[in-house]
Amino acid sequence: MRNTCYTLLQRNRPYTMRELFDEEGCGEDALAPGAVVSFPVNPETAALRAADRERVHACLRALPVEFREAVVLREIHGLSYREIAAACEVPVGTVMSRLARGRRLLEQALVERAKREDTGT
pLDDT per residue rounded down to tens, the chain (121 residues)? 667 766 666 666 554 444 444 444 444 455 455 555 556 668 888 888 888 888 889 999 999 999 999 999 999 899 999 999 999 999 999 999 999 999 999 999 999 988 888 887 6
Look at residues 102, 72, 61 and name the one whose alpha carbon lies nearest to residue 5.
72
The residues pairing with 36 across neighbouring beta strands, listed in sequence order, are 17
Cα–Cα distance for residue pair 64/101, rounded to 1 Å: 10
pLDDT at 24 (0 to 100): 44
- Phi first, then psi: what are they for 38, rounded to 5°? -120, 135
| Residue 64 DSSP symbol | -
pLDDT at 118 (0 to 100): 81
pLDDT at 59 (0 to 100): 92
pLDDT at 5 (0 to 100): 63
Decide: residue 70, CB within 10 A, 0-12 exposed, 13-18 middle, 19+ buried.
buried
pLDDT at 13 (0 to 100): 58
Q: Which helix (H) or strand (E) holds 5?
A: helix 2-11
